[in-house]
A and B are shown apart, each in its own frame.
Chain A
Amino acid sequence: MDCNQQRRPQNGCSRPMMNNGQSSMPGCATQGSMNNSRNGSMNSPMNCSNMNNSRNNSVNNSRNHSMQGSWNNSRNNSMPGSGNSRTAMNGGGGGCGCGDSGNTRSNTAEMDSFAVGMAYVPWQRWNQTYDMHRGLSSGTIFPELDKPFCAAGRCGR
């Protein structure tokens, strides 16, 4: 059993956050790079132009944020999405207009520590379970995983 893995923080960073919301770990995403990811792919309409942008962003981020590269970038204070980039992205006033309220900032502060280009699944913890009858009919014994399934225009459980 890999006990170290279980104790590892689930945000993908093994070092604590700084007070300003930036990660103290080289290689962890900052606000700037999160915005890149969000604007570049998550909320973009699916058209060819944006898909190309998204692909380019991903490729660039991937190149720049490979583990070795990130460490080196951080040492040189030139990591994309570092403090200067963040100021430019959010403080510049241009951009998405999605606001930068205190709540948003605090909610995204932890996410800032995520490395870009990686997928994360929150660590499941053992809680209540359905009884076996409901578990079989629901397709899971875990209430927190009992999500509506929407496909072909229908939603159901």
Chain B
Amino acid sequence: MKNEYLHQVNMAGFALDEAVLYLDTHPGDAQAMSYYQMAREKYRQAVENYTSQVGPLFMSDVPESCSFSWVDEPWPWEGGCA
């Protein structure tokens, strides 16, 4: 389940990156801007889903708590990013 949430983040994040690269050279392209808005919203939702269901994806996602949950998940050398 965690991998599926992460896959959603990666898919939307990649699409967002692609749109940004295109818009870098086509800043006035309305279709590209529309796609960018769509991808950005999907990315935001995907990150939110991951954060709420799995845990913080970025350091800034750690929720208010008594402990720092950022360290709860496995580190990369423990297979945390697989």
Contact A133 B11 (CB under 8 A): yes
Contact B27 A126 (CB under 8 A): no
Judge if A3 is at the interface, Cβ distance under 8 Å: yes
Judge if B42 is at the interface, Cβ distance under 8 Å: yes
Q: Residue of A at shortest CB range from B30?
A: A126
Q: Residue of A at shortest CB range from B29?
A: A126
| B contacts with A, residue count (CB < 8 A) | 18
Contact B15 A135 (CB under 8 A): yes
Q: Which of A3, A132, A136 has the most CB of B within 10 A?
A: A132
Query: Which residue from B10, B15, B28 sits with its C-beta under 8 Å from A6?
Result: B28
| A contacts with B, residue count (CB < 8 A) | 13
Complex: A133 Cα to B12 Cα, angstroms: 9
8 A Cβ contacts from B9-34 to A: 10-12, 14-15, 18-19, 22, 25-29, 31-32
Known: A126-B22, A132-B15. A3 touches B28 (CB 8 A): yes
Complex: A16 Cα to B14 Cα, angstroms: 40
Complex: A119 Cα to B35 Cα, angstroms: 30
Contact with B along A129-144 (1 / 0, CB 8 A): 1001101100011100
Contact A141 B11 (CB under 8 A): no
Binding site for B on A (CB under 8 A): 1, 3, 6, 124, 126, 129, 132-133, 135-136, 140-142
